[in-house]
């Protein structure tokens, strides 16, 4: 039997960028933005191409850094980070010239003669703050949107994945001029100093708790924000679901990145008659994916740090372990685990889990399942497994959630034509593909009015024009 390799020592903690440096960078970016250089679409395309090349040339370093930080398997790092970001860049490079054009919309006869347009104008300087769990994707994808729309940007990757954050910082700071794009490093002090400055847009990905801090700071300057937050995303399994397929798709979405995914199914809500069969299918799927001893699998990541490891380990006491349950504190390993006999009052059901532990709850009727979901804060994602179109439609119509899938998990993120974001406590705003471009643009509404005639109807004195205008409004 292979003995599990010890974790590589964590990279040294990230340095804190000094407050004066942050202020200086911001000042330089303000001057640069005011120069108008970023307004040229060809300039933006050139810079995005530089980013694409930089990602390609840093691929090996990124794969190694994420392995050092939490033993993320290379396949997952490529598909969910590097390849994902490259896809987004290619899509933007193909379409940017179209998105950036003023969009003509239908005219109102009340404005005759005129034509109406939406002009997309960059906000100015964007601040992008990222989390640790998909450390590359979650800072670079928003950055692509910000640059495509013509903004300058300051990026702050997470301090909890120090090796990856060091590579991201190097990648950004060697690709761009700092007056255009810069990466700064640090934890809470640096982030709070950034948040005290006046930015033109703030894009934050992280926990709901820190999201509140960000929104409060943004309110000081009335800066628009996007908040990509977390929550407890359910996977609901109906009695008629194909249980083998369902188990594989849930296990894939839950245990990828060792469950440290914002849209991972947080808990299972299964129709009570099929619970035992579903758990049996989950046992088979987990064994197929990670073998008899998941600790020996090269395809299963580790928990990011000791604090999260201890928090997750404590959840194992909240119910009956039906599958998994093995832990190794030296390597921050927690095996893919399914936890039965859990109630809403257990800590594991009160907080976002963010790890490879899947608690199981049951329901009798679908109405009751939807009621349970809607009783809590609105989740970022929801997954429903059923062959019944009527039941699918009921869930889509009645349950509140950011986005999700029918008969799958996580794949709604893969299609860049779908805006991705949360609702309520799971977030504000959405991005990916053209939605990112729109998000980072001020959509200016403009009427171009003809000058060859000036119909006097709207001007005082109004005299007896009211009857005519009423008829005109009703006719429109
Ligand atoms: P976090 O909120 O702890 O940290 C995110 C960022 O905020 C980091 O860069 C950190 O330096 C900074 N930060 C932390 N505390 C701060 C404070 N007091 N003041 C100012 N800044 C502070 O989140 P995390 O642990 O890195 O990531 C996990 C969370 O992110 C989970 O809740 C997860 O669901 C969520 N998430 C959401 C998405 C999404 O797209 N919706 C994606 C990934 C992760």
Cα(393) to ligand 1 centroid in Å equals 33
**How far apart are alpha carbons 128 and 212 in whole angstroms?**
16
Q: Is 230 in the pocket of ligand 1 (CB under 6 A)?
A: yes
List, in order of start, the domains of the chain with CATH numbers. Answer: 19-229+429-443 (3.40.605.10), 234-416 (3.40.309.10)
Q: Who's near 403: CB < 8 A, 6+ residues apart?
A: 380, 381, 412, 418, 419, 420, 421, 430
Q: Is 215 in the pocket of ligand 1 (CB under 6 A)?
A: no
Cα(65) to ligand 1 centroid in Å equals 19
Cα(51) to ligand 1 centroid in Å equals 24
Q: Is 422 in the pocket of ligand 1 (CB under 6 A)?
A: yes
pLDDT score at 225: 98
pLDDT score at 11: 76
Give the tens place of pLDDT for each residue, 27-76.
999 999 999 999 999 999 999 999 999 999 999 999 999 999 999 999 99
Q: pLDDT means per 10 residues in the chain (476 residues)?
A: 53 89 98 98 98 98 97 97 98 98 96 97 98 98 98 98 97 98 96 98 98 98 98 98 98 98 98 98 98 98 97 97 98 98 97 98 98 97 98 98 98 96 98 98 97 96 96 94
pLDDT score at 5: 55
Q: Is 190 in the pocket of ligand 1 (CB under 6 A)?
A: no
pLDDT score at 44: 98
The edge-to-edge listing of strands for the beta sheet with 234-237 is 320-323, 337-340, 357-363, 267-271, 234-237, 381-385, 403-406
Among 14, 80, 131, say which to mutate for ligand 1: greatest number of ligand atoms within 8 Å of CB: 131
Cα(277) to ligand 1 centroid in Å equals 36
Positions annotated as catalytic residues are 228, 262
Q: Is 412 in the pocket of ligand 1 (CB under 6 A)?
A: no
| CA terminus-to-terminus distance, the chain | 79
Identify the CA nearest to 402 among candidates 385, 384, 427.
427
Q: Whose CA is nearest to atom 35 of ligand 1?
A: 206
Q: Whose CA is nearest to atom 18 of ligand 1?
A: 188
């Amino acid at each position: 039997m292979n003995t599990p390799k010890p974790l590589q020592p964590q990279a040294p903690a990230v340095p804190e960028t000094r407050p004066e440096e942050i202020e200086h960078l911001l000042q330089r970016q303000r001057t640069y933005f005011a120069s108008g250089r970023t307004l040229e679409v060809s300039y933006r395309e050139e810079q995005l191409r530089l980013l694409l090349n930089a990602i390609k040339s840093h691929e090996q370093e990124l794969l190694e850094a994420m392995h050092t930080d939490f033993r993320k398997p290379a396949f997952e790092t490529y598909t969910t980070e590097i390849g994902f970001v490259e896809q987004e860049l290619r899509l933007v490079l193909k379409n940017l010239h179209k998105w950036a054009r003023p969009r003509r919309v239908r005219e109102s006869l009340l404005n005759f003669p005129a034509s109406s347009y939406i002009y997309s104008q960059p906000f100015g300087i964007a601040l992008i703050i990222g989390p640790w769990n998909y450390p590359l994707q979650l800072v670079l994808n928003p950055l692509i949107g910000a640059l495509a729309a013509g903004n300058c940007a300051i990026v702050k990757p997470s301090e909890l994945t120090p090796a990856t954050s060091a590579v991201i910082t190097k990648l950004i700071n060697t690709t761009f001029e700092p007056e255009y794009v810069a990466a700064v490093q640090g934890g809470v002090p640096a982030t709070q100093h950034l948040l005290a400055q006046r930015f033109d847009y703030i894009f934050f990905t992280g926990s709901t708790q820190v999201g509140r801090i960000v929104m409060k700071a943004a309110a000081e300057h009335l800066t628009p924000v996007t908040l990509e937050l977390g929550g407890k995303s359910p996977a609901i399994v109906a009695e008629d679901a194909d249980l083998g397929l369902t188990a594989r798709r849930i296990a894939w979405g839950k245990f990828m990145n060792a469950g440290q995914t914002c849209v991972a199914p947080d808990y299972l809500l299964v129709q009570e008659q099929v619970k035992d069969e579903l758990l049996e299918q989950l046992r088979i799927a987990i064994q197929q994916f990670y073998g008899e001893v998941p600790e020996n699998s090269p395809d299963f990541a580790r928990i990011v740090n000791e604090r999260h490891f201890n928090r997750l380990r404590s959840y194992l006491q909240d119910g009956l372990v039906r599958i998994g349950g093995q832990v190794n504190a030296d390597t921050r390993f927690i095996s893919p685990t399914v936890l039965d006999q859990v109630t809403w009052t257990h800590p594991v059901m009160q907080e976002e889990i963010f790890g490879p532990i899947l608690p199981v709850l049951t329901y009798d009727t679908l109405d009751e399942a939807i009621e349970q979901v809607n009783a809590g804060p609105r989740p970022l994602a929801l997954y429903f497994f059923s062959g019944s179109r009527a039941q699918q439609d009921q869930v889509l119509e009645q349950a509140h959630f950011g986005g999700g899938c029918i008969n799958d998990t996580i794949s709604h993120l893969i299609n860049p034509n779908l805006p991705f974001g949360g609702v309520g406590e799971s977030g504000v705003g959405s991005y990916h593909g053209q939605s990112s471009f729109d998000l980072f643009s001020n959509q200016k509404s403009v009427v171009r009015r003809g000058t060859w005639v000036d119909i006097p109807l709207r001007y005082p004195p109004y005299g007896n024009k009211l009857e005519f205008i009423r008829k005109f409004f009703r006719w429109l």
